[in-house]
Amino acid sequence: ALDIQDYSQRLAQFNTRLIRSVYGEIQYPRQAVRRNLQGRLELDVTLQQDGTLVDINVAQSSGFKILDKAAVKAARKALATIDSEQMDPVAFAEYGDDDSNLVVPVPVQFLLTE
């Protein structure tokens, strides 16, 4: 049994690893840079218990298809292979669905800086 602090810490670590791996693959589309497009979106990433990627859906759009597509592409590349050891039981408790999959929200922000 975990106390709430351990549970929260493990969940935060799982989320951080997932988000960092997605951000590590993001390529800001040149066309979006030229048009000065920025935005925030949220992906729903569905994983099996062994870490196999099932699906990626845009749960909340940035308002720009080009940014949404870039985020999905990055997530597919980053999460194509996840080591089953990275799949924390706490994540299953938090994000598990009826099909024994995890549906994890992954926020992505495209922000241009000077």
Quick check: 100 pLDDT over 90? no
Quick check: 1 pLDDT over 80? no
Bridge partners, residue 102, by sequence: 47, 96
Closest by Cα among 101, 14, 17 to 56: 101
Quick check: 17 pLDDT over 90? yes
What is the arithmetic mean of pLDDT over 82-106?
87
16 — pLDDT class (breaks 50, 70, 90): very high
Say what the pTM is. Answer: 0.90
End-to-end CA distance of the chain: 48
Rounded to the nearest integer, the mean pLDDT of the chain is 93
Contact 112, 38 (CB under 8 A): yes
